[in-house]
Amino acid sequence: MVAVEIRQLRYFVAVAEELHFGRAADRLAVVQPAVSQQIGRLERELGVRLLERSSRRVALTGDGERLLAEARSALAAVERVRTVAAELAAGRGGSLRLGTSAGLGERVRRGVARIRENVPDLSLVLVDGPAEAHVEALRAGELDVALVRGPVRARGLRPVEVWRDPVHVVLPAGHSLAAHQAVPIGALAELTLRLPERSANPALHDAVLAACRAAGFTPALGRPVRSVEDVLVEIGLAEREATFVHGCGDGGQAGVAVRLLDPPVETPGFLLVRAETGPDCLPTLVGAFA
């Protein structure tokens, strides 16, 4: 009787999708020899060759292509069993533990409403925090999914880009640059820029500094932003300071003007899940939060 382990199927799917043992190992958060060993054991158990290997490439054999679809289905079934078992054990019945980031309230509300159309009794636990904290919580099984801005590279997790937000500059309403519908980035060289600490918002911090460098200048930086509400008040009272927000921010704040940048600057938004999350779950989550 053939004895196939779930781990072997998971490793096979990772290699089949990456077509590279090293990338598959990174995705699985294991060392490469462990992947090669488990694939070899699977091929011996089944008595078929699933992958063609050479020094230059990895490719699926015909048997490998046939097994891939079945392996994905088997792993999805296992994921569903684990989810139900975890819910029963925890007495949760049906819940989503969602990591969120500052400024994503409307996207979260919209996404949860869409999911509840299909799962009416879903309960929700929101956990606010920086991307680094969400990465650790996902690895520890304390979160089911997280929404983060900016690319996140973390072993054992899978980032899926879902949306892109334009970056807007916030200026004193009386400043001459506020007359522009889109403010030239080079013109910001004359202002003191207020940015969040990189640890608090790496996507926005890095996007703005990269845009300034591309425009040929290193900006003068003011005090770090710790509260968006407070900095908008401060910008409204200043003469030569500016800050930045994802999307259009609070365009109704008195004393400030919120403008696009020229050329445009965007920050990507990602859905972050554990690498072993069943592929049947992703389309639903991506569609909900897009």
In order of start, what are the domains of the chain with their CATH numbers? Answer: 6-88 (1.10.10.10), 91-162+269-289 (3.40.190.10), 165-266 (3.40.190.290)
pLDDT for 248: 65
Rounded to whole angstroms, the Cα distance separating 70 from 50 reads 13
Rounded to whole angstroms, the Cα distance separating 283 from 118 reads 13
pLDDT for 211: 97
Q: Contact, 162 vs 216, CB < 8 A?
A: no
How far is the CA of 14 from the CAs of 21, 159, 180, 238, in angstroms? 8, 15, 49, 54
pLDDT for 199: 82
Q: Could you give phi then psi for residue 185, rounded to 5 degrees? A: -60, -35
Rounded to whole angstroms, the Cα distance separating 68 from 234 reads 57
10-residue block means of pLDDT along the chain (290 residues)? 76 91 89 90 89 87 89 75 51 71 84 77 81 87 88 83 93 94 96 92 92 97 91 92 80 82 94 75 79
- Global confidence as pTM: 0.62
Rounded to whole angstroms, the Cα distance separating 231 from 243 reads 8
pLDDT for 235: 94
Supply 252's token pair. 């109704």
pLDDT for 188: 97
Q: Could you give phi then psi for residue 32, rounded to 5 degrees? A: -60, -40
**SS3 state of residue 108:** helix
pLDDT for 91: 44
